[in-house]
Amino acid sequence: MATLELNGLRKRFGDTQVLRQIDLSLTDGEMLVIVGASGCGKSTLLRLVAGLETPTAGTVRLDGRDITQLDPSARDIAMVFQNYALYPHFSVFDNMAYGLRIRGLSKAAIQARVDAAAAMLGLGDLLTRKPRQLSGGQRQRVAMGRAIVREPKLFLFDEPLSNLDAKLRVQMRAEIRRLQRRLGITSLYVTHDQVEAMTLGDRLLVMHEGRPAQLATPMEVFEQPADTYVASFIGAPAMNFLPAILTEHGAAARLDAGPTIRFTDGPRAGPEGMALTLGIRPEHLTVGDPQLRVQVDLIEPLGSETLIHGHLPTAGAPPMVIKVAGRAPASEAIAVGIQAEHLHVFNRETGMRKAPGA
């Protein structure tokens, strides 16, 4: 159990600036999820904390102690790797006991800790097996067990569920969260899966091109995305974006497609005619309201709901997705209305969120 503090962390590989400026602090027992598209620097950030890479600038502090220059073996941090990275020549028991033996624990203590972790993860019958005799889910559990037995100050998870099938992923996701809560070990969890990001973290760090795009609780990120990148990244299917301009002295936006929508949460500052991007999630569009006409390209029934893919009739208009409960009406064009209270307003130039009064 410990706090983690990152100050001004930067990393460059040759000419490529992978991490630009990361400042972050985790409280004791907190689980922070780092999410972003591939290449955004999230794995590099994790490896800097692990000590597997050395930062170009900045410091890493664990429990107040500067560990930036410390070798990974001296950091007391455990990591769960994407491909599990089990020792192929060791049994499950030895995989978990390896780190404990290095620390010089007694045989009895090692046995007790491994047994406890194995029981917690349901690995009791597999302790004598070799990794190659295990299924993907079992390997994943062994990797977890290897981290747990160490009772480290910090857990690092590097996309640990991405090699599992969908069903197992859901199951392990819940299990990881349960274990982390129970053990109360401060954790950093890297993923590109936004469902994992939403469900696992106390807080969420969305990264974009080596920079933190937003750091907040998952619901805050979902409800008030800081910019169009975050807005499009979190939420599935992704948010729809419509070009518009500011009008009525900041009290409303006029869509390029025609209608004017009044802001329900207060006026925005800015010159008349300022370029905006309006964001609206697929579930916040109402079919049957004659505000917009949308040409239907494709209908995807998902069972309990249906996705309608379409676009506005103007040439070169961006695609739109509408989510409706139940079945969708089969027609070539539908009338769609925007639920104004769910509108997200962004500055089109900078992509940043425009809050009321700002």
Distance CA 118, CA 173 (A): 18
Q: Which of 74, 166, 315, 325 binds another protein (CB under 8 A)?
A: 74
> Is residue 13 at the binding interface for another protein, with CB under 8 A as the rule?
no
Cβ neighbourhood burial of 99 (10 Å; 0-12, 13-18, 19+): middle
* C-alpha distances out from residue 8 to 16, 38, 55, 56, Å: 17, 22, 10, 10
Q: Is 190 in the site for another protein (CB under 8 A)?
A: no
85 binds another protein (CB under 8 A): yes
Q: Of all residues in the chain, what percent are helix, strand and coil, respectively (each to 5)?
A: 30, 35, 35
Nearest Cα to 29, choosing from 158, 150, 177, 174?
Answer: 177
Do 282 and 322 touch, CB atoms closer than 8 A? yes
Binding footprint of another protein, residue count (CB under 8 A): 26
Stretch that binds another protein, among 34-42, 79-87, 189-197, 326-334 (CB under 8 A): 79-87
- Least distance to another protein, CB of residue 158, Å: 9
Would you give the binding string for another protein spanning residues 100-139, x where CB under 8 A is met? --xx----------------------------x-------
294 binds another protein (CB under 8 A): no
Using CB under 8 A as the binding rule, whether residue 67 contacts another protein is answered as no
Q: Which is nearer to another protein, 150 or 203 (CB)?
A: 150
16 forms part of the interface with another protein (CB under 8 A): no
Residues with Cβ within 8 Å of 256's Cβ and at least 6 positions away in sequence, in order, are 242, 243, 244, 245, 314
- Residue 224 has φ and ψ, to the nearest 5°, of -135, 65
Give the per-residue contact string, 147-176, with another protein (x = CB under 8 A; - = no). Answer: ---x--------------------------
- What does the alpha-carbon distance between residue 201 and residue 187 come to, in Å, rounded to a whole number? 9
Pick from 179, 177, 175: which is nearest to 167 by CA?
175
Q: Is 237 in the site for another protein (CB under 8 A)?
A: no
| 79 near another protein, rule: CB under 8 A | yes
Q: Which is nearer to another protein, 76 or 220 (CB)?
A: 76
Of 343, 357, 349, 352, give the one whose Cα is nearest residue 253.
Answer: 343
- Using CB under 8 A, which of 14, 15, 71, 166 touches another protein? 71
d(CA 162, CA 159): 6
Give the DSSP H or E segment for 310: strand 305-311
In the complex, least distance from residue 73 CB atom to another protein, rounded to whole angstroms: 5
Q: Is 81 in the site for another protein (CB under 8 A)?
A: yes
Cβ distance to another protein smaller for residue 80 or 345: 80
Task: Give the residue, chosen from 7, 98, 202, 299, that forms a contact with another protein under the rule CB under 8 A.
Answer: 98
Q: Which stretch binds another protein (CB under 8 A): 77-85, 188-196, 227-235, 237-245?
A: 77-85
Q: Looking at 64, 88, 303, 326, which residue binds another protein (CB under 8 A)? A: 88
Nearer to another protein, 92 or 294 (CB): 92
Question: What is d(CA 107, CA 101) in angstroms, rounded to the nearest whole number?
Answer: 8
Reduce the DSSP state of residue 280 to 3 states and report it: strand
Closest separation in Å from C-beta 154 to another protein: 11
**How crowded is residue 199: how many other Cβ atoms within 10 Å of its Cβ?**
15
Q: DSSP state, 353?
A: B
What is d(CA 28, CA 38) in angstroms, rounded to the nearest whole number? 28
Give the interface segment with another protein, choosing from 33-41, 46-54, 264-272, 293-301 (CB under 8 A): 46-54
Look at residue 325 and give its three-state secondary structure.
Answer: strand
Q: Which window, 12-20, 82-90, 165-173, 345-353, contacts another protein (CB under 8 A)?
A: 82-90
Q: Which residues of the shown chain bind another protein in the complex (CB under 8 A)?
A: 50-52, 71-75, 77-79, 81-83, 85-89, 98-99, 102-103, 132, 146, 150
